[in-house]
Amino acid sequence: MANSQNSNDLENNVNNIEKSSLIKAIVVSIFDTEGPTPKYYYPEDLDENSRLLIAMKTISLLMGEATYQDGNAIEGVNYFGILPFPDIKLNGLTYFFLIYDPEARGQAKAATITILVDEENISFFYENIKYLRVIIDKSASQIQTAKDSNEMKNILNSLRMQLINFIKDLKHPFSQTRQIKILFAGLDRSGKSSFVLGIKKKYSEIIKVLPTKGVSREISELFGAQLIRWELGGQKSYRDQYLKESEVYLYNVDLLFFLIDVQDLKRREEGLKYFKKLIESLENIDDYPPIVLCLHKTDPDIKNDKQIRENIEFLIMRIQEFTQNYYIKIFETSIFDHWSLVSAFSYGISRLSPNREIFRKQLEWFANKTDSEFILLLNEKAIILSNFSRDDVSGKVFEISAPHFQTLYKTFKEFKILKKDFLVSSGISQTKKILFKKLNVEKYNLYLLLFISSEDYIKKIDENLKEFISRIEVLIDTYI
Ligand SMILES: Nc1nc2c(ncn2[C@@H]2O[C@H](COP(=O)(O)OP(=O)(O)OP(=O)(O)O)[C@@H](O)[C@H]2O)c(=O)[nH]1
Ligand SMILES: [Mg+2]
């Protein structure tokens, strides 16, 4: 007995030591007259090269163009990102913000706080980002008003203590691989299984699909993360079970897709009721995942029928009543419109990327360099990883059409009609062109869609592409 007690203690001790040494370094960097400078850091003997590397990379990646530095608009400028530092075998969670300074250009100085852990511990960031954000955000506000370097040092110290305490309270700080739990829910026959098969283009199976018995689980991979898809069979007895044992089924959900059949007026109250109960169960366990609501079976041929439009309007109105606490986005989807499925799905996935803001920053950087109004980045499966747009309308149009360009591109390539690795369309207007281009970024094939207005666009792209790719390269492995 005494023996096992001892070995337990030992285990706990080891565990505690591991936990407290999880944070390898913290660096506060500021863009001052000497450029990106690591101003305050822990540990004090952190070597100079590492410090500098961290300051340079975090500030330059997150800052993009210096033009938006503006002391009057400090509030809105803040981004999180998970960045790899392979040279020093560490990974960082970086928060970018501005510090008001009447002397500085634009009356503000760019700054970052970076928390570093060993490379293999990166899931710690992904799994705890919700909480880490709050802790770091608070320290950043303190830094914004700090008066002298003593105060800065205190802030840094207190940040470190808060992180250590946070880690100590965690039962399991993180798992080895990043796992993402995605739920598909909705009434029976709402089309969940068909939706999932449609994304995978398994059309021959859609026509044979049978009601799902209980939960069907499947694992796939995206940029090194495991996507675990839970399809919750929608028959009444199963639904009752999910709601009764919501801690089990809804535990740790990262993303929820809910489907409602817009053609089935008879069951819409039943569908809404189920949705509401699921939301309440999530609230009960304090879980607030992003939600993608699919108004499904909005088939292309009946999309504009009066009855369908009225039903959609009604559903949207009703849903607002009980989803205020959630980040919810609504899509009209149909298995007869493949891209409607893909855009709903990729939107959900992009919500999971802790790097979505800095991805967008890189697209904005490239857009500025190339006079583009709109840029969108796709992966091989036409999932939209990120986009940047100067106006909402064209943004929407390109989002819808991007996957079609990819099909065109691949078709031309397949028949060897395309000699270069891009497609250009003219005739949009005198000067504006649409350009679709393949990129090789690390081991991935990615695709760029640009709405570009420059005369010498080829030159502009050539001049900046290399740097753009190198910016994306460091981010892609930590996309999700
Ligand atoms: N018209 C139309 N029919 C669809 C669409 N999606 C699915 N269906 C049909 O709806 C029926 C039910 O589809 P499923 O995918 O089995 O529905 P489910 O939500 O998985 O049902 P359970 O597994 O019982 O929960 C099938 O006959 C599908 O062919 C769609 O977009 N439009
Ligand atoms: Mg099913």
- pLDDT of 65 reads 53
Ligand 1 pocket, residue 297 CB under 6 Å: yes
The confidence band for 292, taking pLDDT boundaries of 50, 70 and 90, is very high
Asked whether the beta carbons of 126 and 223 are under 8 A apart, the reply is no
Indicate the average pLDDT of the chain: 88
- Dump pLDDT digits (tens) for 224-246: 788 999 999 999 999 999 999 99
Q: Which of 8-17, 352-361, 366-375, 455-464 has the lowest mean pLDDT?
A: 8-17
Asked whether the beta carbons of 372 and 452 are under 8 A apart, the reply is yes
- pLDDT of 5 reads 47
Ligand 1 pocket, residue 198 CB under 6 Å: no
Nearest ligand 1 atom to the CA of 213 is 23
**Is a pLDDT exceeding 90 seen at residue 151?**
yes
- pLDDT of 3 reads 46
Percent of the chain scored above 90 by pLDDT? Answer: 56
Per-residue pLDDT, averaged over 255-277, amounts to: 98
Which ligand is in closest contact with the Cα of 206?
1
| Rounded-to-integer distance, Cα 157 and Cα 336, Å | 57
- pLDDT of 66 reads 47
Most confident of 173-182, 200-209, 383-392: 200-209
| Rounded-to-integer distance, Cα 236 and Cα 223, Å | 36
Per-residue pLDDT, averaged over 426-436, amounts to: 78
pTM, entire model: 0.79
| Rounded distance from Cα 323 to ligand 2 centre (Å) | 24
- pLDDT of 13 reads 47
- pLDDT of 245 reads 92
User: Three-state DSSP class for 438?
Assistant: strand
- Which DSSP helix (H) or strand (E) runs through 393? helix 392-414
| Rounded distance from Cα 334 to ligand 1 centre (Å) | 10
The confidence band for 425, taking pLDDT boundaries of 50, 70 and 90, is confident
Domains identified in the chain and CATH numbers: 2-169 (3.30.450), 179-352 (3.40.50.300), 356-476 (3.30.450.190)
| Rounded distance from Cα 301 to ligand 2 centre (Å) | 24
- Dump pLDDT digits (tens) for 95-117: 999 898 888 777 888 899 999 99
Ligand 1 pocket, residue 209 CB under 6 Å: yes
Q: Which of 193-202, 204-213, 456-465 has the lowest mean pLDDT?
A: 456-465
Inter-CA distances, 173 with 129, 135, 168, 368, Å: 12, 16, 8, 40
The confidence band for 442, taking pLDDT boundaries of 50, 70 and 90, is confident
Query: Which residue's alpha carbon is at the smallest distance from atom 13 of ligand 1?
Result: 191
- pLDDT of 72 reads 56
Per-residue pLDDT, averaged over 246-270, amounts to: 95
Ligand 1 pocket, residue 216 CB under 6 Å: no
The confidence band for 18, taking pLDDT boundaries of 50, 70 and 90, is low
* Residues contacting 371, CB < 8 A, separation 6+: 452, 453, 454, 457, 460
| Rounded distance from Cα 25 to ligand 2 centre (Å) | 47
The residue with greater pLDDT, 7 or 186, is 186
- The answer to whether the Cα torsion of 276, 277, 282, 283 is positive or negative is positive
